[in-house]
Structure 1
Amino acid sequence: MTVHFHEEDLPEGVAFADGPIAVDTETLGLITHRDRLCVVQISDGHGDEHLVRFGSGSTYDAPRLKALLGDPDRLKLFHYARFDLAAIEFYLGVTAAPVFCTKIASKLTRTYTDRHGLKNLVSELLAADISKQQQLSDWGAPELNEAQREYAASDVRYLHRLRDVLVERLEREQRTAMAQACFDFLPTRARLDLAGWADKDIFSHD
């Protein structure tokens, strides 16, 4: 297992195995328009993770990363895809679809709990432990330390295995079609967030 670190784009010649890729992002904060995209993490589920860092003032001209994220034939696995899709679309200009979101799948199947964070899922479903200590660290710093890099890598390291478990649970509870409809809507949900409807439910009567 190796964590590969890249500046501004994936290097030429890097190859990913066929099938889904796990994706995550690290940003300067939680307001997409204000808090820039700092890191995109990628894993094909075969043991290595690739981190692409964008520096202050980046033009986000990352053609190889954009091509991978925008490939309509490759499923992208996220945990809380809504946030990551908005950051990717706003800064990279790419719709990273089709999508599977482990957080949505968890909420549709693990109705016995309100704990749907990645750490909770990895602990319960995979009997593993991940540290979230670096979650609130400075992702815009000129240098990312080893703890930050390991944290970023761990956010994509388990998503393939989590999907396998959650797919079985969705099928067991006959909620696969409902989940897929939610996944299909996620790029539009992210665009609604970007357009100013993040805190307003346009489907409500209010």
Structure 2
Amino acid sequence: MAVYLHEEDLGPEVTFADGPIAVDTEAMGLIPGRDRLCLVQLSDGHGDEHLVRFARGSTYAAPRLRALLEDPNRLKLYHFARFDIGIMRAYLGFMAAPLYCTRTASRLVRTYTDRHGLKDLVKELLGHEISKQQQTSDWGAPELSDAQKEYAASDVRFLHALKERLDERLQREERTELAQACFDFLPARAMLDLAGWPEQDIFAHDG
């Protein structure tokens, strides 16, 4: 198992196994436009993680990353897809779907708790402890620390295994179709965020 750091795009030597690809992002904050995209993390679930870093002033061209994440036949796994696909759409210019969101699946089947963070999911469903200490660190720094790189890698390391466990529960609770409908809607939800409706529920009846 190894973590590889790439600048501005995946290296031409990088290949990924067939099947779902786990994806995460790190940014300067949570508001696209104000807070720039700094890092995209990737894993095919076979032990290695790849981190693509974008410097300040980047053109965000990344053709090899784009080809991978725009592939309509490749399922992308996220843990809070709404943010990740939104900020990639804002900076990289494409919608990285179709998708599966472990946080959304967790909220549909782990209704006995309000703890749906990645750390809680990994601990309960997989029995591993992960650190979130670097979550709010400076992802735009000129150099990433080893602790930052390990944190970033851990955000995609467990998503394939989590999907398997969550799929079992979705099936058990007869919510698989409902989950898929939610996943299918998330690109539209992300576009609403980018268009200026991040908090408003446009489906609500308010008088």
Q: TM-score range by the shorter chain?
A: over 0.9
Q: What does 1:48-197 correspond to in 2, within 5 Å?
A: 48-197=48-197
Compute the displacement of 1:102 (Å). Answer: 0.1
Distance 2:147 2:82 in 1: 26
Compute the displacement of 1:13 (Å). Answer: 2.6
Compute the displacement of 1:82 (Å). Answer: 0.1
Compute the displacement of 1:146 (Å). Answer: 0.2
Unaligned runs of 5+ in 2: none
Distance 1:173 1:32 in 2: 36
Distance 1:33 1:205 in 2: 30
Compute the displacement of 1:33 (Å). Answer: 1.5
Distance 2:185 2:119 in 1: 25
Compute the displacement of 1:98 (Å). Answer: 0.5
Compute the displacement of 1:93 (Å). Answer: 0.6
SS at 1:11's partner residue? Answer: coil
Deviation sequence 1:64-115 (CA, Å, 0-9, x none): 0011110000000000000001011000011100000000000000000000
Distance 1:203 1:69 in 2: 30
Compute the displacement of 1:32 (Å). Answer: 1.1
Q: Which 4+ stretches in 1 moved above 3 angstroms?
A: none
Distance 2:105 2:158 in 1: 15
- Normalised to the residue count of structure 1, the TM-score between the two structures is 0.99
Deviation sequence 1:121-180 (CA, Å, 0-9, x none): 000000000000000000000100100000000000000000000001000000000000
Distance 2:191 2:55 in 1: 25
- Normalised to the residue count of structure 2, the TM-score between the two structures is 0.99
Q: 2:79 is aligned with what amino acid? A: H
Deviation sequence 1:25-68 (CA, Å, 0-9, x none): 00000111110000000000000000000000001010000111
SS at 1:197's partner residue? Answer: coil
The answer for the alignment partner of 2:32 in structure 1 is 32
SS at 2:60's partner residue? Answer: coil
Unaligned runs of 5+ in 1: none
Distance 1:97 1:13 in 2: 24
